[in-house]
Structure 1
Amino acid sequence: MQVLQVQLEVRPDPAEVGRARQWARSRLLGSGIEADEPLAETLILLISELVTNAVVHTGSAAKVRICFSGSGAAVGTVRVEVLDASARPPRQRHADGEDTNGRGLELVDGLADRWGWQQEGVGKRIWCEVDRCQSLLVAAGGEPMTYESPCVVTNRA
């Protein structure tokens, strides 16, 4: 399985979330995921939430990685990782009615096929995965695709 990884470093500034979204859109197009594909908007929203959490809740710089298994029309699973310098575990909350915060990880849980986190040096890595072709494969009688290996660095932005 071919894996392509791209990476962006973001400063500890909420304005960086917009820059991360713009960067991600261009990388998705470069991978063969069209802007009008539902997967593209899902991934942009996931990236936005994870980067927002990193810069707002840690107050430190972060790294955003997008890992593509396959390329072009053959992209299967897309993995998003955000690495930050805080060892504090992420905490999924439940926002009520008019609350303006607390929906980020609920949204990630609802949109991603899988997500989780792990300690990474003095900080942590929060990741999520979305399977591009899973529903098509299952409808055709095939097995769902899974992401089985860690990201391999082949390209850095």
Structure 2
Amino acid sequence: MEQTEKAVPVTATWWPGREPGPGPEPGVWRFSALSHEASVPRTRHAVRDRLLAQGMAGERYQELVDDLLLIVSELVSNAVTHAAVLSPEVVCELAIDPDRVRVSVLDGHPYRPKAQENDPARPGGRGLLLVKSVTLQAGGECDVERTEDGGKVIWASLPLPGPGAAGPDAEADPDDDPDY
């Protein structure tokens, strides 16, 4: 049941001794885990640590990181809950490029899930609806695709915040307030 971070990074543009640039460092990382409940927080923590290591610490990225971690939690939870029978391992991939961050969860189960409608009488079943809602609210996109080996990959891609963007608690610039 040990979490492993395979081929870290698969591709990256950071070299020891080089100062990080003004934005997150691009790259692709894969995190493999057994299809077990304990893999959900382990994968979430591994992704969080990688996001922070790639330069997404601080107020500017707080909302994005929170959204990505919620998405990872929901997607890995769905995979270990619904796909474990046919997929003893799940893989979470994190891809950072200059404009976007994409998280994907791959499993070997062929069933293609769909976001359920919000039914208060039904316990659970809202994970994909939540992922879709958070993704769209952030200006991103998400989808489910088949893999070549018959499994599926569920992914969400969110835009990086623009320069000067800050979290919801950031102080407003007095020059932006016409009533100031």
**Structure-2 separation of matches of 1:100 and 1:131:** 31
Match of 1:115 among 121, 135, 142: 142
Counterpart check, 1:41 vs 2:69: no
Residue by residue over 1:23-57, the C-alpha shift from the partner in whole angstroms, topping out at 9 and shown as x without a partner, is: 01101101111165111111000000010111100
Residue by residue over 1:84-122, the C-alpha shift from the partner in whole angstroms, topping out at 9 and shown as x without a partner, is: 001111121123225331111111111111000111022
Counterpart check, 1:65 vs 2:88: no
Check conservation: 1:77, 1:132, Cα contact below 8 A. yes
Task: Say what the alpha-carbon RMSD is for the aligned residues.
Answer: 2.0
1:149 maps to none
Name whichever of 50-59 and 92-101 sits farther off: 92-101
Q: Which has the higher helix share?
A: 1
Check conservation: 1:118, 1:124, Cα contact below 8 A. yes
Check conservation: 1:35, 1:41, Cα contact below 8 A. no
Secondary structure of 2:125 counterpart: coil
Check conservation: 1:80, 1:127, Cα contact below 8 A. yes
**Structure-2 separation of matches of 1:93 and 1:136:** 37
AA matched with 2:143: G
| Higher Cα radius of gyration | 2
Q: How does 1:96-111 map to 2 (within 5 A)?
A: 96-97=119-120, 99-111=122-134
Check conservation: 1:21, 1:47, Cα contact below 8 A. yes
Match of 1:125 among 131, 150, 153: 153
**Structure-1 separation of matches of 2:97 and 2:70:** 20
2:32 maps to 9
Secondary structure of 1:44 counterpart: helix
Aligned length in residues: 131
TM-score, normalised via structure 2 length: 0.67
Match of 1:93 among 102, 113, 116: 116
Distance 1:89 1:135, change over 3 A: farther
TM-score, normalised via structure 1 length: 0.76
